[in-house]
């Protein structure tokens, strides 16, 4: 017997409640699928923002207890449930000109319509694993703030450094590079302290490896932190930076760092032939497993100022233009690339980062080796200063700058934002 009552089946989809009203027919609920459904039923679905009614059925819609065969038979017979109506076309603002659609087949904006689509088609991604955290260390027990680099410190190698590494690891940043502030009394014209097995860097490596065996430690191979002249190489009395004699010292420095437990040694000096010489020295001492990240395209940039304040390593005279590259040069990077590849480099680095995106892309296109980019102190300080002055959104600019380095072709990025960016990526 037909019932004149409406059947209500409330349910929720997310925060939206649906109420189903069914006008049953005598033949709708049949015991056997063979019974013909002759009368059309009306199923109206209404959505509201009301709360979840007590006793509502589970699932996206209240279930009617029909079998699959009965549901299919109802549709075949023309008893199709009604869905919500097609939403009306949004009205354009008053005064919008009425024009014909442009005759274009390809509309790239279609792939940018929603956040889900944009995420699905995103070509470049970044994670904490792509970041290397540069850390400044000194012999003191207290952490000393660096004026030109807000948020950065000369960390006490026994205390502050260990704590900072722990924070970075907590957000997935498990690679660091060490830069020492060496006491002036230990600096000499030949930088012999650079290969002291009990010097600041080897001691720090041993401490960190004891505490965190799986930590990836990069080191800086150059004489400027140890030189009384502040240059990356030995300075002759006429001011010339001596290449081969410097390389000899760098080999001893790299071996000392490898002996302490360094995973990657990173010659940043820009002397000719140093990658091949260091590779041979490491292999001769049984450190075939230690990688070399060469500063392949390191430019004589004005973006390094805050870094030199951090290490107190400004040149005592002159500049570094006879060994670092001319910022005006592009093709010269290919010369350095070919030399480093042939000499056994494992990773190629471009420094600075953001102002040299074209060089990152050049190396990426010309070499199968991993490419690193160094977002240097000047880049970091500018973003920090802009954020403090409320001229930019610091966090958004930080993440955009890192994404741009990745997009240009960098596999890893050395950045003072590593901890802050890692926290951002982890949603902290």
Phi/psi at 150 (nearest 5 deg)? -55, 130
CB contact set of 365 (below 8 Å; sequence gap of 6+)? 409
Q: Cα–Cα–Cα angle for 111, 114, 119, nearest 5°?
A: 75
Q: Phi first, then psi: what are they for 254, rounded to 5°?
A: -65, -40
- For residue 320, the SS3 value is coil
Write out the two tokens for 94.
């008053």
- Token pair in block for residue 396: 């958004």
Is the Cα dihedral 182, 185, 187, 190 positive or negative?
negative
68-95 CB burial, b ≥16 within 10 A, e <16: eebeebbeebebebeeeeeeeeeeeeee
Q: Please give the C-alpha separations between residue 122 and each of 43, 115, 130, 349, 363, in angstroms, as whole numbers.
A: 41, 10, 17, 25, 23
The single residue listed with the structure tokens 């109420």 is 19
- Mode of pairing for the β-strands spanning 144-145 and 153-156: antiparallel
Q: Which of 231, 376, 385, 375 is nearest to 310 (CA)?
A: 376
Catalytic (active-site) positions: 298, 351
The Cα-based distances of 146 to 19, 136, 137 in angstroms read 63, 10, 12
If we measure between CA atoms, which residue out of 118, 223, 240, 238 comes closest to residue 180? 223
């Amino acid at each position: 017997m037909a019932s004149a009552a409406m059947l209500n089946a409330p349910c929720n989809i997310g925060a939206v409640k649906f109420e189903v009203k069914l006008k049953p027919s005598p033949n709708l609920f049949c015991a056997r699928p063979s019974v013909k459904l002759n009368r059309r039923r009306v199923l109206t679905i209404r959505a509201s923002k009301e709360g979840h009614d007590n006793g509502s059925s589970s699932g996206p819609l209240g279930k009617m207890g029909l079998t699959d065969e009965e549901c299919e038979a109802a549709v075949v017979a023309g008893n199709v449930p009604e869905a919500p109506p097609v939403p009306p076309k949004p009205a354009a603002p008053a005064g919008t000109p009425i024009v014909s659609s442009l005759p274009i087949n390809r509309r790239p904006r279609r792939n940018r319509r929603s956040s889900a689509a944009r995420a699905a088609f995103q070509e470049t991604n970044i994670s904490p694993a792509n970041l290397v955290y540069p850390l400044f260390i000194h012999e003191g027990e207290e952490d000393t703030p660096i004026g030109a680099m807000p948020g950065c410190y000369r960390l006490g190698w026994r205390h502050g450094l260990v704590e900072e590494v722990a924070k970075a690891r907590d957000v997935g940043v498990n690679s660091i590079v060490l830069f020492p502030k060496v006491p002036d009394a230990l600096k000499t014209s030949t930088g012999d302290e650079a290969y002291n097995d009990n010097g600041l860097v080897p001691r720090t490596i041993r401490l960190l490896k004891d505490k965190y065996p799986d930590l990836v430690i990069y080191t800086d191979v150059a004489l400027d932190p140890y030189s009384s002249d502040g240059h990356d190489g030995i300075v002759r009395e006429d001011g010339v930076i001596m290449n081969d004699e410097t390389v000899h010292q760098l080999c001893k420095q790299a071996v000392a760092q490898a002996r302490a437990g360094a995973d990657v040694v990173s010659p940043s000096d820009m002397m000719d032939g140093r990658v091949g010489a260091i590779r041979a020295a490491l292999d001769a001492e049984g450190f075939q497993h230690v990688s070399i990240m060469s500063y392949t395209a390191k430019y004589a940039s004005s973006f390094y100022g805050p870094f030199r304040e951090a290490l107190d390593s400004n040149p005592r005279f002159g500049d570094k233009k006879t060994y670092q590259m001319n910022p005006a040069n592009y093709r010269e990077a290919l010369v350095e690339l070919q030399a480093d590849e042939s000499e056994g480099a494992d990773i190629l680095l471009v420094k600075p980062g953001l102002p040299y995106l074209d060089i990152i892309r050049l190396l990426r296109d010309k070499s199968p080796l991993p490419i690193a980019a160094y977002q240097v102190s000047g880049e970091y300080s500018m973003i920090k200063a802009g954020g403090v002055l409320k001229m930019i959104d610091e966090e958004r600019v930080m993440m955009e700058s890192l994404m741009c380095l990745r997009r240009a072709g960098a596999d890893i990025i050395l950045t003072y934002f590593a901890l802050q960016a890692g926290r951002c990526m982890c949603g902290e």
